[in-house]
Amino acid sequence: MLYYLFDYLDRVLDVPGTGVFRYITFRSGLAIILSLLISTVFGKKIINFLRRQQIGETVRELGLEGQSQKAGTPTMGGLIIIISTLIPVLLLARLDNVYVMLLIVTTLWMGTIGFIDDYIKIFKKDKEGLKGKFKVFGQVGLGLFVGYVLYFHPGVTVRTDTAKINIYDTTQNVISPVGVEEKSTATTIPFFKNNEFDYAELLSWAGDNYKDYAWLIFIPIVIFIITAVSNGANLTDGIDGLAAGTSAIAVLTLGIFAFVSGNIIFSNYLNIMYIPNSGEMTVYITAFVGALIGFLWYNTYPATVFMGDTGSLTIGGIIAVLAIAVRKELLIPVLCGIFLAENLSVVLQVSYFKYTKKKYGEGRRIFLMSPLHHHYQKKGYHESKIVTRFWIVAILLAIFSLVSLKLR
């Protein structure tokens, strides 16, 4: 909203200094400052409200040290993240940008699913929360919507041959793009030279018009990624500060990808896919990072609030949509390696337990407990040590992901 106000003051009234709002970097800086202020200053008020409403965590007895002290800690703290993200975005971002609107819808969509899940757990006294099939149905629904928009919306285009079609305009003293932006289901294969791959190629056997049916491949892939990443974030939210900290690192990395992919000069220099208008997502991303860091103020050990599924499902959905939008979804196993490890630990544990129970008559375990962070708790590691080491691993994975821009 402020963007349009200052744009009017700049273009129509020619008020000095108002043109600075045209710069993504300036608005991104304001967004992270504003979201940090909202999440830290007003976060306390939200926590007190949740406490007055007796919206507290019901902790299952898992035999973990210090677990009983967490019972009654306010949950649904994901509301802090959502509010602290959306207010700066609505004020500072361009709301006519398809990517920004897609992220806003994702936030509200996944936030609603998580809120319903938390509501059932707390007020209906049902520890299982929202039935798994309904949760998956909601995730699939979002995947269908996101996939449809990214495939069919005319504002979602790419230019894959940036380095070849740009010329230096001596009259304007800038690099100007030459060529036509096109609809494409191309993505990036990390760490490979000439690393662009079009999902449509998987249907090349279907005849000359095979690209017309690329949505049959693209949309199911989007559904799978959104479902997998949101569930991974949900499983990671098990100890104080783990999900919020690792997510902030991953999102900040995606912010760098979004900024360089949406900038014709940087994408040309790095020889990567240029995605017009995607740079505007940087405003959303910085607001989201500020909200996550502000939430950590209250969520680090010992936590005074938990994000609940309201926060964890939202975080996972946003990360997935961001990665798909900047055509870096194949980098998710690296960038979100913590989520992947948590997911795999549960899948392996359950599968091996069922297999050994059927074969030997008794279930056996690979880990002392799953998800993976509980395994280390069982081994006697303090929560703070586990979280800090997971953060360090997340930082290393983020650096490794960024290196993929040049290391091919």
| Known binding positions for Mg(2+) | 234, 309
User: Would you call 199 exposed, middle or buried from its count of C-beta atoms within 10 A (0-12, 13-18, 19+)?
Assistant: buried
What is the spatial distance between Cα 76 and Cα 121, in angstroms, rounded to a whole number? 11
Binding residues: 234, 309
- Please, what is the end-to-end C-alpha distance for the chain in angstroms? 41
Residue 276 and residue 261: Cα distance in Å, rounded?
8
Answer for the pair 85, 286: CB distance below 8 angstroms, yes or no: no
Nearest to 159 by CA among 280, 323, 273, 277: 273
Total residues belonging to the chain: 408
